[in-house]
Amino acid sequence: MTARGDFIEKFGGVFEHSPFIAERAYDAGFVTVPLTAKRLHDGMVLEFRNAAREERLDVLRAHPDLAGKLAIAGELTEDSRNEQAGAGLDRLSPAEHARFTELNAAYTQKFGFPFIIAVKGLNRHDILTAFERRIDNDFDEEFETAAAQVERIALLRLQALLPER
């Protein structure tokens, strides 16, 4: 496997199921030694922001629902499973689960992509509050909010993979 292939294998999932971001960052020369989370994040975010709007929308759509069907079926990526579990979304009461399910459906119907929030440091109540507030946004505002959350999730994932120097 080439250095590029190794890089894509390790960092291709930082933006959920969207290895094209890592590929473009590598090809654009953002992979330099020493590799740090901040420098790599800056390059990957630039590629994400420079992607066509439909590609960015596809990145948003690649994210799972919070406490949704994939979580119940055990089909989340390891990163998503750990992130959701860290926020307690794997321990919802039946009433909380029903509320998340209701909000997931309404949000996805309204925006065409799942609700995205960087859950690290949040609990299920914080997430539910944000969910209920953001569902009233218009499409453009929520697209930008969700994209910013994707970028934050990517940074947290990179920080877990790379030491800061």
By annotation, the residues acting in catalysis are 63
Euclidean distance between CA atoms 101 and 53, whole angstroms: 27
DSSP secondary structure letter of residue 35: P
- Are the beta carbons of 85 and 120 closer than 8 angstroms? no
For helices 78-86 and 139-161, the axis angle rounded to 10 degrees is 100
Euclidean distance between CA atoms 93 and 51, whole angstroms: 39
Euclidean distance between CA atoms 143 and 112, whole angstroms: 10
Q: Is 106 helix (H, G, I), strand (E, B) or coil?
A: helix
Question: Which amino acid would we find at residue 16?
Answer: E
- Are the beta carbons of 113 and 57 closer than 8 angstroms? yes
Token pair for residue 23?
């590929």
